[in-house]
């Protein structure tokens, strides 16, 4: 497989933020312009209103663009009794490559019992779990994350946004402590030189290119990796090699 892999995107409209050009066709057109081969996404509706409907939208997008768009299945931890059936439904439907959690939106701490079925299904299907992670978030910050990473060593956890503005500075220590953690590069508030700083501290094999499109134009997110002053092999790993390992797309 050639082309970059974007490990963090979204589909559809989202009430609190303006997200233009948000249809499946819009996303693929932007991918084509930037040389992105695959995008793993979740529908905004899945974590902001109706997760079943949102997962259906994600499945439809993946079916419309097979081999280009892949889904993160979403469940609401406030309804834990429904999680197993919904996750199984998504994986049977096909087109899903992982699970997405948004503790802040659901106001449910990452370590709480409402996520137990998520961890079981992630291990069963051997799929990663992308977590909306923010340094000062009471629902999913460093201490919440530490509890889960220690309890669930068999689950590959992807921390979105590198923890926000300065949260990336904690990433090297977390990576040393927990080998099941990965980190996506999406975010609009990171300082210049962040990618170089992380690669210099040994994270080249754990970083995943993520755009957060259509919230953020993927060109800017791709540029901070493409033009980072890092070795070529590190750039190739971040832009696709690491994601191929994580999602099992190496064959």
- Per-residue pLDDT of the chain (251 residues), as tens digits, is 679 999 999 999 887 778 899 999 999 999 999 999 999 999 999 998 899 999 999 999 999 999 999 999 999 999 999 999 999 999 999 999 999 999 999 999 999 999 999 999 999 999 999 999 988 889 999 999 999 999 999 999 999 999 888 889 999 999 999 999 999 999 888 889 999 999 999 999 999 999 999 989 999 999 999 999 999 999 999 999 999 999 999 86
SS3 call for 181: strand
The number of angstroms, rounded, from the C-alpha of 152 to the middle of its chain's C-alpha atoms is: 18
User: What CATH number should be reported for the domain holding residue 166?
Assistant: 3.20.20.140
From first CA to last CA, the distance across the chain in angstroms is: 8
Residues with Cβ within 8 Å of 243's Cβ and at least 6 positions away in sequence, in order, are 5, 7, 38, 208, 209, 249
How do the residues of the chain divide into helix, strand and coil, expressed in percent and rounded to 5? 45, 20, 35
What pLDDT does 165 receive?
80
CA-CA distance, 138 to 118, in Å (whole number)?
Answer: 20
Torsion of CA 98, 153, 171, 164, to 10 degrees: 40
Assessment of whether the complete model's pTM goes beyond 0.75: yes
156 contacts 180 by C-beta, under 8 angstroms: yes
- As separate numbers, helices (DSSP H) first and strands (DSSP E) second, the chain gives 12, 8
Per-residue DSSP letter, 182: E
Count how many domains the chain has: 1
Domain that holds residue 161: 4-247
How high does pLDDT run on average in the chain?
A: 95
CA 213 remoteness from chain centre: 11
Q: So what's the pLDDT on residue 251?
A: 67
Tokens of 5: 């892999």
């Amino acid at each position: 497989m050639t082309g970059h892999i974007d490990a963090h995107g979204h589909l559809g409209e989202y009430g609190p933020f303006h997200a233009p050009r948000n249809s499946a066709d819009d996303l693929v057109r932007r991918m084509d312009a930037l040389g992105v081969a695959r995008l793993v996404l979740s529908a905004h509706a899945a974590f902001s209103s109706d997760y079943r409907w949102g997962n259906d939208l994600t499945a439809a997008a993946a079916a419309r663009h097979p081999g280009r768009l892949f889904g993160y299945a979403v469940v609401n931890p406030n309804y834990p009794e429904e999680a197993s059936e919904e996750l199984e439904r998504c994986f049977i439907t096909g087109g899903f490559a992982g699970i997405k959690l948004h503790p802040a939106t659901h106001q449910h701490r990452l370590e709480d019992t409402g996520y137990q079925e998520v961890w079981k299904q992630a291990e069963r299907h051997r799929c990663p779990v992308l977590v909306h992670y923010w340094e000062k978030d009471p629902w999913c910050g460093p201490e919440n994350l530490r509890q889960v990473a220690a309890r669930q060593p068999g689950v590959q956890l992807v921390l979105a946004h590198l923890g926000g503005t300065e949260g990336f500075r904690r990433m090297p220590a977390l990576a040393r402590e927990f080998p099941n953690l990965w980190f996506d590069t999406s975010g609009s508030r990171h300082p210049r030189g962040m990618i170089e700083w992380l690669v210099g501290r040994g994270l080249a094999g754990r970083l995943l290119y993520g755009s957060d499109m259509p919230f953020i134009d993927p060109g800017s997110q791709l540029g901070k990796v493409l033009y980072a002053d890092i070795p070529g092999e590190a750039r190739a790993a971040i832009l696709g090699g690491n994601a191929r390992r994580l999602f099992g797309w190496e064959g």
